[in-house]
Amino acid sequence: MMAPRGRLLGLGVGPGDPELITVKALRLLREAPVVAYFVAKGKRGNAFGIIEAHLQAEQTLLPLVYPVTTEALPAPLSYEQVISDFYDEAAVQVAEHLDAGRDVAVICEGDPFFYGSYMYLHDRLAQQHEAEVVPGVCSMLGGASVLGAPLVYRNQSLSVLSGVLPAEELKRRLADADAAVIMKLGRNFPKVRQVLAELGLDGRALYVERATMANQKIVPLDAVDPQSSPYFSLIIVPGEKWQG
Contact 217, 210 (CB under 8 A): yes
Q: Is 41 exposed, middle or buried (0-12, 13-18, 19+ CB in 10 A)?
A: exposed
What are the backbone dihedrals phi and psi of residue 97, each rounded to the nearest 5 degrees, phi first? Answer: -70, -40
Rounded distance, CA 113 to CA 186, Å? 21
pLDDT per residue as tens, the chain (244 positions): 556 899 999 999 999 999 999 999 999 999 999 999 999 888 888 899 999 999 999 999 999 999 876 555 555 567 788 889 999 999 999 999 999 999 999 999 999 999 999 999 999 999 999 999 999 999 999 999 999 999 999 999 999 999 999 999 999 999 999 999 999 999 999 999 999 999 999 999 999 999 999 999 999 999 999 888 988 899 999 999 887 6
Name the percent of the chain in helix, strand, coil, to the closest 5: 35, 20, 45
**Judging by DSSP bridges, how do beta strands 206-209 and 179-183 pair with one another?**
unpaired
pLDDT tens-digit readout, 15-45? 999 999 999 999 999 999 999 999 988 888 8
CA distance 244 to 242: 6
User: Residue 71's Cα: distance from chain center in Å?
Assistant: 16
Q: Does this model's pTM top 0.75?
A: yes
Domains of the chain, each with CATH number or no CATH: 8-137 (3.40.1010.10), 140-237 (3.30.950.10)
Instruction: Choose among 87, 122, 104, 109: nearest CA to 35.
Output: 104
| CA distances for 43 relative to 48, 94, 104, 112, angstroms | 10, 20, 21, 20
Helix (H, G, I), strand (E, B) or coil at 225: coil
Contacts of 201 (CB under 8 A, 6+ apart): 174, 237
